[in-house]
A and B are shown apart, each in its own frame.
Chain A
Amino acid sequence: MNELKDQDLREALRRREARRTKPEVPADFCDSIMEEIAPKKSSRTVWRWMAVAASILLLIAVGVTIAPKSDDDTLVAEHVKQEPKGSPTTVQTEKTVSTDALNTVYKQDEPAVQTVRTKANSAPKSQEKEVERLEAVDNHQETVVSSQETIPHLHYAAYVPMEDSTYQAPSRMDEFIAKMAAFNKVEAVAMDCTPGDSLAVGKAYVFDDKQELDLFGRLLQAACWYDSKTPGYLLNFSHQQFFFTLKDLHKNEKYLWIAERIVGGRILLYSSHSPIETDISSACYQKYREQLTQTNFSTLHF
C-alpha cells in the first residue's frame, strides 16, 4: 500500500467506486478497432503502388520525349508537304537515306524496291519498263538526298531492317557442315537417293568421333539457330543419333540431317535437301551405312 494513509480518503474512494456502475464493453468494441486498423493499412499500400506506377509512367514519358532529339544519322526522315489550297491535295513523301557505312536499307524504301524487284524477276517481258522505273526511283532518291538540308521539319520513323531477321535459311546448316568437314579434312560423298531427280542433293561425311571435335554438340548448337516454329522443324537426338529436319518455304526445299555413331569410333553424317514434294528414300543411306560398318574403313575411297 502507498505510504500516505489518509484512511478517510481511501474509504471515500472505495465507496465511490462501489457506487459507480462499471461500464460494459460494447459487443462491437473489438470489431471497430480492427476495422480502424485494417483499411488504413491497405489504402496506404494502394497509394504507395499508385505513386510507383505514376513515377514509372513519368519516366517513360520523359524518355519518349527526349529520345527523338538525339542526333542519330541512321534514322529515316520523312517530310510531308501539302500542296496549297485550291489545287487537288496530294501528299508527296520524300525519302532521305543517310550515309551509313553498312549500307543499311530502311523501311521507307522497302515497298518501292520490293515491288520493283519482284516484278523484274517474275515478268521478264516487262523487264525494260521495270528497269526504267527502278532508275526513276533512284533518281528521285538522289534528288531528295540533295535537298535534305533544306527540309525544315524532320519526322523520325522507326528503323526497320528490310530483311526478315527471324528467317534463317536452312542451307546455313549445310554451309556449316561443309566448313567443318573442310577444317577436319573430311570429304563429302555424293549420295543419289532419288535417281532421275537432279534437284535432290545428298551427301555423306565420315568424321572421327573425337572429343575435341564434338560433332554432336556442334550440330545441336547449329540446330539451336532455328526456332522450333520453323516449318518442318523436327529435332531428335540421343548419344547415338542426331536427327534434324527443316523446310525452306522461300526456296520450296526440305532438308534432312542424320548423324550416327558407327563402329570404329566414327560418326556418319548424312545431309540431304530436295524439293518439298520429292519423295526421298533412305535406302541409299542405309546401304552406305552397311557398307561402312561391314567394310574396312581404310579401303573406302572418298
Chain B
Amino acid sequence: MSEIISMDVRTSSEKQRIGRILDGKREEYAWFVNTYSQEVLGFTSRLVPDAEDAREVAQDAFVKAFRSLASFEFRSSFCTWVCRIAYHESMNRLRRQQPHYVDMTEIPAVVDDEELSTGREERIALMEEAIDDLPPDERTLLHLYYYEDRPLREIAYIMDAEPNVLATRLHRIRKKLLQMIKQKENE
C-alpha cells in the first residue's frame, strides 16, 4: 500500500522524535504517551466496554508500537498507527470474550437513504439506542466516519480493510439501523 495519509506538520515532528528514540533517547517515549494517551484511551473505550480492559488495551497498543518503532513507515501519524494497533487489540479481546456477532448478510435490504434522515426528535433518540446495540466494530466505523469525519482511507488503515469494503459496510449498517429503529417504533 502506498502512502495513504498525507503527512502534516505534526507527523514530521513525530518523525524527528522517533529518530531520537531510535538513537537511544528514551525520554521521548513519554512525550508520545502524554500527547496521545487521551485520544487512544478514548478510542479503546468506545470499542471495549470495560474501563479497565480499555486502559490495558491502550497500554498494550503503546507498548507494541514502541517495540516495533523501527518498522514504522510513517504512512500515517503516530496516533493513527497506535489506534490501528489498538483496534486489533480490542477486536482480539472482544472475540475472546464474545465470539459471535450478528451476521449482517441476514439483514434485509428494505430501505433507502431518505428514510434514515427524517429530522424527527423521537427518531434521533431511537437512533441513539440502536447505535448502542450495534457490535463494537460497527459502532467504531460509524463513529470514525460520521462523528470524527475521518477519511475512509484512514479508517481503512485503522481497521485494516479496503476502503470500498468499508463503504459497503457503512451502507449495510445504515440499513440495519433503520431496520432496528422500525422494530423499536413497532414495539
Residue contact A9 to B29, C-beta cutoff 8 Å: no
Please report the C-alpha to C-alpha distance between residue A22 and residue B58 in the assembled complex, in whole angstroms. 14
- Inter-chain contact A25/B38, CB cutoff 8 Å: yes
Establish whether residues A8 and B59, one from each chain, have CB atoms under 8 Å apart when the complex forms.
no
Is the Cβ of A2 less than 8 Å from the Cβ of B41? no
Residue B30 CB within 8 A of the other chain: yes
B128: chain A residues within 8 A (beta carbon): 12, 15-16
Q: How far is the CA of A8 from the CA of B117 in the complex (A)?
A: 5
What band does the interface of chain A fall in when counting residues whose beta carbon is under 8 Å from B?
20 to 34
Contacts of A8 in B (CB 8 A): 116-120, 123-124, 127
Majority secondary structure, B binding face: helix
In B83-140, which residues have CB < 8 Å from any A CB?
113, 116-120, 123-125, 127-128, 131-132
B10 near A: Cβ within 8 Å?
Answer: no
The answer to whether B118 and A36 have CB atoms under 8 Å apart is no
Minimum CB distance partner of B39 in chain A: A25
Q: Do the beta carbons of B147 and A13 come within 8 Å of each other? A: yes
A29 interface hit (Cβ, 8 Å): yes
CB neighbours of B79 from chain A (8 A): none
Closest chain B CB from A15 CB (angstroms): 6
A-contacting 9-mer, from B1-9, B11-19, B61-69, B70-78? B61-69
Taking a contact as CB atoms under 8 Å apart, the answer to whether A33 and B33 are in contact is yes
Q: Are B124 and A11 in contact (CB under 8 A)?
A: yes
* Contact (Cβ within 8 A) A14 B63: no
Shortest C-beta distance, A78 to chain B (Å), equals 57
Question: Does the CB pair B145–A2 fall under 8 Å?
Answer: yes
- A11–B149 Cα distance when bound, in Å, is 13
With a CB–CB cut-off of 8 A, which chain A residues contact B116?
Answer: 6, 8-9
CB <8 Å contact, A34 and B29? yes
Contact of B159 with A by CB under 8 A: no
Q: How far apart are A12's CB and chain B's nearest CB, in angstroms? A: 4
Determine which residue in A17, A33, A38 has the highest number of CB atoms from chain B within 10 A of its CB, and name it. A33
Bound-state CA distance A213–B41 (Å) is: 85
Once A1-B149, A6-B146, A30-B30 are accepted as A-B contacts, the answer to whether A12 and B59 lie under 8 Å apart by CB is no
Nearest B residue to A33, CB-CB: B62
- Of B42, B59, B62, B146, the residue contacting A10 (CB under 8 A) is B146
Task: Give the CA-CA distance A7 to B151 in the complex, in Å.
Answer: 18
State whether B29 touches A33 (Cβ < 8 A).
yes
A2-B149, A25-B38, A25-B41 given; A37·B119 CB < 8 A: no
Contact, CB under 8 Å: A29 / B143: no
A91 contacts chain B at the CB level, 8 A cutoff: no
Q: Quick one: given A4-B170, A8-B116, A30-B30, are A23 and B51 in contact (CB under 8 Å)? A: yes
**B124: contacting residue among A12, A26, A37, CB under 8 A:** A12
Q: Are B59 and A36 in contact (CB under 8 A)?
A: yes
- Residues of A within 8 Å of B120, CB to CB, are 8
In the bound complex, how far is the Cα of B69 from the Cα of A37, in angstroms? 12
CB distance from A35 to the nearest CB of B (A): 10
Find the B residue at minimum CB distance from A16. Answer: B128
The distance in angstroms between the C-alpha atoms of A172 and B104, with both chains bound, is 102
Cβ contact within 8 Å between A23 and B131: no
A5 within 8 A of partner (CB): yes
Contact between A33 and B63, CB atoms less than 8 A apart? yes
Chain A hits for B45, CB < 8 A: 23
Is B169 an interface residue when CB atoms closer than 8 A count as contact?
no
Q: Is A32 an interface residue (CB 8 A)?
A: yes
Report the Cα distance A30→B117, complex, angstroms. 43
Contacting pair A9 B177 (CB below 8 A): yes
A2, B152: Cβ atoms closer than 8 Å: yes
Which residues, 142 to 177 on B, are CB-close (under 8 Å) to A?
Answer: 142-143, 145-147, 149, 151-152, 170, 174, 177
User: Given A1-B149, A13-B146, A15-B128: A7 and B34 within 8 A (CB)?
Assistant: no
Give the nearest-CB partner of B173 in chain A. Answer: A9
B147 pairs with A33, CB closer than 8 A: no
B interface residues (Cβ-Cβ under 8 A, vs A): 26, 29-30, 33-34, 37-38, 41-42, 45, 51, 54-55, 58-59, 62-63, 66-67, 113, 116-120, 123-125, 127-128, 131-132, 142-143, 145-147, 149, 151-152, 170, 174, 177
23 A–B contacts from the bound complex (CB under 8 Å)? A1-B149, A2-B145, A2-B151, A2-B152, A4-B174, A6-B113, A6-B146, A7-B119, A8-B117, A8-B118, A8-B123, A9-B117, A9-B177, A12-B128, A13-B143, A13-B146, A17-B143, A22-B38, A25-B37, A29-B59, A30-B34, A33-B66, A36-B63
